[in-house]
Amino acid sequence: MNKAIIGRKAGMTQIFAPDGKMIPVTVVEAGPCPIVQVKTVESDGYTALKLGFGETSEKSLNKPDCGQFKKAGVKPCKVLKEVRLDSVDGYKAGDFVKADIFAAGDKVDVAGVSKGHGYTGVIKRWNQHRLKETHGVGPVHREPGSMGSISDPSRVFKHKHLAGQWGVENVTVQNLEIVRVDAERNAILIKGAIPGPRGGVVTISNSVKQKEN
């Protein structure tokens, strides 16, 4: 069965396996997520759940969003996301999706927004190398390089690696392993690193690779 939940990246730590091996993990505060709407093939043409995460006040939302939460009978949430599922049987508006829908050993995909690094040069952004600091190079040690011919085509080619905003992009890391689930604390410990800065919102779902196998 396909499963999904919304969470917040709490940070990274490490735990120890029974054999003494150290395992680096990312702690995600996952749910509880109220189900705001259940979408079906008959009514919407596809199956999905609209999940909320993180309570907020009504005054911070517009009227249409407040109406969705009132219709479902749940408190207003800061985050509202739609997750596609193969089947929505057994789900209904007003129920809660909690961390215990996953278990240790599950393979999951984690989607989030990557960390923003601001306006960045080509060395950091594109991993280019700097020029030599010998005589004659001039003050261009960290420059992006040639822009192309001046006469023809008299323009910079598309996809030229230049300085600019780096990060803040939608990123999905696939086939990560859940090491531990703490249902009482609504925490999921995932082996390795996941996208986004600390405090960023992420979506955890069943791994596509696992479903294919």
For the stretch 50-65, pLDDT in tens is 999 988 888 888 888 8
Q: Which burial class, exposed, middle or buried, applies to 170 when counting CB atoms under 10 A from its CB (0-12, 13-18, 19+)?
A: exposed
Long-range contacts of 52-57 (CB under 8 A, 24+ apart): 52/6, 52/76, 52/77, 52/79, 52/80, 53/6, 53/7, 53/8, 53/77, 53/78, 53/79, 53/80, 53/81, 53/201, 54/8, 54/78, 54/79
206, 209, 211, 213 alpha-carbon torsion, rounded to 10°: -150
Q: Hey, what domains does the chain have and what are their CATH numbers?
A: 4-117+170-212 (2.40.30.10), 120-166 (no CATH)
Which band of pLDDT confidence, cut at 50, 70 and 90, is reported for residue 87? confident
Mean pLDDT of 140-147: 85
Tokens of 80: 């509202």
pLDDT value for 159: 87
Which band of pLDDT confidence, cut at 50, 70 and 90, is reported for residue 153? confident
- 0.85 exceeded by pTM: no
Which band of pLDDT confidence, cut at 50, 70 and 90, is reported for residue 144? confident
DSSP character at residue 14: E
pLDDT at 1 over 80: no
